[in-house]
């Protein structure tokens, strides 16, 4: 049974972060099932479907943790304002524990046939592409995106690499954020030393092995995403609204488990079914990282979000499987909409790091995955060897791009949002 739907759209407020980063990975309609019990975040927006769009900033280029290097055995760099003992990516842990950050530098999380890895350089453009991008610029000037009209980048979400044999934990359901049968019920492998999505204005604590998972905004309804890449199991565990609090209690709203040996088709985890993101997508394969910038290429599509009133009302398009009670007009992009930076767009005015992201946007595009104010989502560098400041990329590095510099790709007819999810929950 779905929870009763009582949808309310709150005023959108955007907030800049410390260190130049902004958080917006928080989700306006993640799950999107009910507004009952929904809460607002700091500077946030009540998401359609009762979710919270976290728009307060958390960690950006030169952000709050390990900026300039991480002080960890096996890590890289000397500490410069960082939290000593945070683990180096792929290295040994320091005093904090032994969690490590996941990236796709060595290969994608899913098989190459997954939609996130498709080269769409020559893909067909939707017939209403120009109408959509022109409307975006006219509605949210100067450039057509949320949070002040310009593309900004959020750096608050992090994917954690799960070592083989990691102990699994059972979560207590946060009932206002849990939806049956959309959300899975299995135990979750949680490595020591990892992090939940960072909350506005807070530094993570590594005082104990699992204290980094204490999402300080959990009780205020923050998104608090937790992402775990378990390569030995061929699984990706993604949680919307999760925390391990000071009493070591593991609570979670919606757990979405993905089989990473499978190239999902347009039915994803099930039509009308949400995930840890409102469009029903996985989050981790759409995050770009500082490690990828350093390596010189991003080989996948990118997650992007818009305010609820800029998303077509109650529609989604493949490969999305879900939408929320959005309020945008027919000229707005629907959930799941796929935008590609035009091949004619000159990259010469962008920094070298921004050019790498722009080339990915030209080859793979960006998928409309959630609601909120901060357009693009990059991975936090809080546990990484490579910092965003090391590669010269910050929240405003792509701010000159306009919606009209993009084309909307043709993914077929839109689908009405009914929330009638039918799937078998994963329980083990």
Tell me how far apart the alpha carbons of residues 82 and 59 are, in angstroms, rounded to a whole number.
12
* Least confident interval from 97-106, 247-256, 416-425: 97-106
**Is a pLDDT exceeding 60 seen at residue 37?**
no
Placement of tokens 């900033």 in the chain: 57
Work out the number of other CB atoms within 10 angstroms of the CB of residue 428.
Answer: 7
Q: In the structure encoding, which two tokens stand for residue 127, read together?
A: 């017939």
404 burial via Cβ count (<10 Å: 0-12, 13-18, 19+): middle
Q: What is the DSSP letter of 86?
A: P
Which range (15-24, 262-271, 298-307, 392-401) has the least confidence?
A: 15-24
pLDDT in tens, 154-179: 999 999 999 999 999 999 999 999 99
| Band of pLDDT at residue 202, cut at 50, 70 and 90 | confident
pLDDT tops 80 at residue 369? yes
Token representation of residue 104: 């796709």
Quote the CA–CA distance of 27 and 299 in Å, as a whole number.
Answer: 24
Residue 22: pLDDT band (50, 70, 90) is very low
In the three-class reduction of DSSP (H, G, I as helix; E, B as strand; rest coil), residue 219 is classed as helix
Distance CA 377, CA 390 (A): 18
141: its two tokens? 């000037």
Q: Using one digit for the tens of pLDDT, what is the confidence trace for 270-306?
A: 999 999 999 999 999 999 999 999 999 999 999 999 9
Residues 6+ apart with CB under 8 A from 349: 400
pLDDT in the model for residue 201? 67
Distance CA 406, CA 340 (A): 5
Average pLDDT over residues 258-264: 98
Digit-coded pLDDT (tens) for 47-104:
333 333 333 333 333 333 333 333 232 332 222 233 333 333 333 232 233 348 999 9
How far is Cα 121 from Cα 388, in angstroms, rounded to an integer? 27
Digit-coded pLDDT (tens) for 112-169: 999 999 999 999 999 999 999 999 999 999 999 999 999 999 999 999 999 999 999 9
């Amino acid at each position: 049974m779905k929870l009763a739907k009582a949808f309310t759209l709150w005023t959108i407020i955007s907030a800049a972060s410390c260190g130049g980063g902004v958080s917006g990975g928080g989700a306006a309609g993640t799950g999107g099932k009910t507004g009952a019990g929904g809460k607002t975040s700091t500077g946030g927006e009540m998401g359609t479907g009762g979710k919270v769009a976290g728009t307060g900033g958390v960690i950006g280029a030169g952000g709050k943790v390990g900026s300039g290097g991480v002080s960890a055995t096996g890590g890289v760099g000397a500490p410069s304002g960082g939290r000593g003992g945070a683990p180096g990516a792929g290295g040994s842990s320091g005093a904090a524990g032994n969690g490590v950050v996941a990236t796709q530098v060595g290969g994608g999380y899913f098989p190459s046939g997954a939609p996130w890895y498709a080269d769409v350089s020559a893909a067909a453009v939707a017939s209403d592409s120009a109408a959509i991008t022109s409307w975006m610029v006219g509605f949210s000037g100067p450039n057509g995106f949320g949070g002040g009209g310009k593309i900004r980048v959020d750096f608050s979400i992090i994917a954690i690499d799960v070592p083989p044999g990691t102990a699994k934990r059972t979560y207590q359901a946060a009932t206002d954020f849990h939806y049956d049968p959309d959300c899975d019920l299995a135990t979750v492998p949680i490595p020591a030393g990892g992090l939940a999505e960072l909350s506005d204005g807070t530094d993570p604590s590594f005082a104990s092995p699992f204290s980094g998972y204490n999402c300080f905004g959990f009780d205020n309804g923050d998104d608090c995403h937790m992402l775990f890449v378990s390569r030995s199991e061929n699984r990706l565990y993604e949680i919307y609204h999760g925390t391990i609090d000071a009493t070591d209690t593991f609570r979670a709203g919606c757990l979405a488990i993905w089989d990473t040996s499978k190239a999902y088709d347009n039915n994803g985890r099930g039509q009308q079914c949400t995930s840890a993101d409102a469009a029903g997508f996985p989050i981790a394969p759409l995050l770009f990282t500082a490690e990828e910038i350093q390596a010189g290429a991003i080989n996948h599509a990118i997650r992007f979000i818009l305010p609820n009133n800029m998303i077509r009302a109650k529609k989604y398009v493949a490969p999305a499987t879900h939408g929320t009670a959005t309020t945008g007009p027919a000229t707005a992009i629907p959930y799941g909409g796929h935008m590609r930076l035009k091949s004619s767009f000159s990259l010469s005015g962008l920094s070298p790091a921004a050019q790498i992201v722009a080339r990915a946007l030209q080859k793979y595009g960006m998928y409309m995955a959630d609601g909120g104010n901060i357009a693009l989502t990059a991975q936090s560098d809080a546990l990484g060897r490579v910092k965003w400041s090391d590669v010269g990329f910050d929240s405003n590095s792509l701010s000159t791009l306009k919606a009209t510099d993009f084309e909307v790709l043709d993914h077929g007819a839109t689908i009405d949002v009914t929330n009638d999810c039918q799937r078998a929950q994963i329980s083990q």
